Copies of this chain bind each other. A is one copy, B any other.
């Protein structure tokens, strides 16, 4: 029998990410994807059940990739300051190196597909984050607070900065450029707010 051409799978996935990232989820279509990936529309349906399956599958893959990258070198027993800083650096590096992936992910996160993609990724998050935060609380480094509050204070500012960087222009027409220095300053700000 004939074997799957792995290049085709990769081409489909890469083209999908590119299309959503640059044209937006609302302009994403299977026929156009097939053309962009250099593949027949029918081929896509060998790998994915339908359009929704394609988008959710890819978003989960990318989400897992991103989560893995964010947790590289991270250990839930690290001090709060060190652990959070590792995650900030990893996440920023990943988003800048793979900004198409990051943009794709962000688009899906704000769409009707979010439920299916987030239930997988939140599990991954919860496992690693839960212990880390619990340790930090027990050590008296931070106050006890709902996980959602923690996430909102600890990570939302970073993701916002990354978005400002990736969008061409930002507040007031100027161009905003991310840098190690700015990230560190913002981190200090957030850390100060969180720690006792």
Contacts and interface: CB of A to CB of B under 8 A. Distances in A.
Name the prevailing secondary structure of the A interface residues: helix
A126 interface: yes
A24 B157 contact: no
A25 B158 CA distance: 26
Contacts of A114: 167
Interface residues of A, number: 50
Contacts of A170: 122, 148
A119 B123 CA distance: 37
Contact of A27 (B112, B146, B172): B112
Interface in A75-126: 106-107, 109-114, 119, 122-123, 125-126
A171 B128 CA distance: 12
Nearest to A108: B110
A159 interface: yes
A42 interface: no
A125 B28 CA distance: 32
A23 interface: yes
Nearest to A170: B148
Nearest to A158: B152
A61 interface: no
A190 to B, nearest CB: 6
Contacts of A26: 25-26, 28, 111-112
A47 interface: no
A156 interface: yes
A146 B182 contact: yes
The 5 closest A-B pairs by CB, nearest first: A193-B193, A24-B112, A152-B160, A110-B110, A156-B160
Interface of A: 23-28, 106-107, 109-114, 119, 122-123, 125-126, 130, 145-149, 151-153, 156-161, 164, 167, 170-173, 176, 182, 185-186, 189-194
